[in-house]
Structure 1
């Protein structure tokens, strides 16, 4: 009886929390297999409360019987794609009446993290990859107030292009599977060149000025030993 009372208590609290939600509620579902090879399905609601905190509540947890194999998932995806195609056709006609319409799932959107500079690049890159979907979503559900214009998308593209060398070189230096000493000198010069080039862009110039000041503080004196490594590297032959 205690379990039933607790269940009813938390159920009423859940109803009250949703009654106070002033914004939209998003739903996600997840199929997973337990250690006993039984399949389960969960339905979760996500919303932002009045304190601007993201909340997630499990609404249902159900035993699915059979395992969720790739075949079963594909059948479900086929149903979803057909539904999505009908929704898109209502907004604007698809080429060839949607005959060649298909969906590609390239990952989730990311948020910026203050303590991880690379998250800014990842966030912008993911947003550019999902540009068409974001435009469709804002037009359909949020309105023009939340939609980025062409100039703003161009700014995002420019910032992403500017940050990409920093991301690539960070990944290059972080490797533990190959030596990186010979990569140091050329990579640092590349970063310096990218920062100087950014000064030519009026929108990137303020950011590049701050970055150049920090760069000169760290790399005012290049390491002579690591510079010699470049001269000894056969891939950088000096003529």
Structure 2
């Protein structure tokens, strides 16, 4: 039978006559061909020829002859494929890649190294390790991201020597390569996160706030998404942290927020947007409702705008603290003076030890815009109220000593602020059962009754 190309051969013995029937597959059809019965001695490897085999496929096949017909025998499944001289190796490649079920898959031909690993029960065992330049580069970039190291760390002589002592085979990269690796990780994680958001079947709650840097007073907008995953765990991910040029108007903030939601394709999945209680945010949310599809929102967007409870408490407490602003200023000035240098800190602690006052808590300066830090500053300063007068006697330059009335006001206000501080921690905590709780605005208009609201 004439045949071209590489043909798959399987032998089936029939006992009724001393012949062998070969099932030869040609162009997808099976054909029978009779030939003489083969003995074991009839199959022999091909004698080495003068021409050298150059195709890599012969690493997985060996040439054998059956009745002077040349075959290629798969080293894994032992199937014979006809491979007469002059024919290509495409069929052999197809068999190795697709048809062969016994070929080893995913083999790593790199040299393995022996290392010691700890068992779960505390023991040790010897395992193998394969060095990878790509994996080590990825871990280096993730280390820089995690610990906020400078990109120039890869150019430090000490770091290079330390890395070479750990793995001499690792080729240290430059800061530009490290920067590219970090951007590559960011893009990969961004794609994964966007795919996760697309598969979400639940609603996504958004929180956003403006941040101002202390050194150059530039404004940044942070947008965070909160959702419940399939394992019923609260997940929070930053969607965007972007620089916002002045002025920070409602139109500018609305454009940034709307673009972020649409880029992530969650504009139809948003449940609520929680913002601080200010007029700019009120105007921003009104404009945002005109740009987003309200028909896909909860109650047609009536509950989209949520006001941050922690910010409302912050406004309440700040108004209350205005009544004792002079007291707070004198205590704050005292804390500033005694924490200005290490020498003053040591002198203050020395006086405290002379009065048998524990120095477990250090004096800490507050942030004027965060009342909870003011509460912590006052609470710590009260424990040192007897130390400040004696410290003044040791330092003539200290002139902002609080009076007795200041300490009485501080003790009284701290007893009141403790409740607000605990409530704020509950609102801000991620592990609390009340986390994410916001003040719900009135959803009923004055002319609407409860029945019409339910129908909506």
TM-score range, shorter chain: 0.3 to 0.5
Pick the structure with greater CA Rg.
Answer: 2
Calculate the TM-score normalised by the size of structure 1: 0.34
More strand by share: 2
Calculate the TM-score normalised by the size of structure 2: 0.19
More helix by share: 1
Larger relative contact order (C-alpha < 8 A, sep ≥ 6)?
1
